[in-house]
Amino acid sequence: MSRVIIVVNCGINTSGKRNSASSVINKMVTAIEQSIPTHSPNTIVEVVAASALGSENKPGQSQHGNLIYCPLTIQLPDWFK
């Protein structure tokens, strides 16, 4: 099973929910969330704030098989390569 992590810099509150203040980000994330299952139904899609990326989200470390990052920001942590 694949896992897609959409990384955003804004529009996510501390509980991980999208806020309505960033309508452009919301539209992009919604479009991606709706299109991925259409083409790859067994894929898990998550939205994560760049500031919330931790060691469990490091590239190459996944319990779900293929891990694909979809950054919608250029402000990623320095360790993220």
Tokens 């469990």 — which residue?
A: 56
DSSP label of 77: -
Give the tokens for residue 51. 């500031």
Q: How far apart are CA 13 and CA 18, in angstroms?
A: 6
Provide the pLDDT for residue 2: 87
Provide the pLDDT for residue 4: 92
Give the pLDDT confidence of 35-78 residue by residue, as tens digits: 999 999 999 999 888 888 875 555 555 565 788 899 988 888 88
Q: Domain-by-domain residue ranges, the chain?
A: 3-71
Give the tokens for residue 47. 């939205």
9-22 average pLDDT score: 63
Provide the pLDDT for residue 57: 54
Q: Tell which wins on pLDDT, 10 or 11.
A: 10
Q: How far apart are CA 53 and CA 12, in angstroms?
A: 12
| pTM across the whole model | 0.74
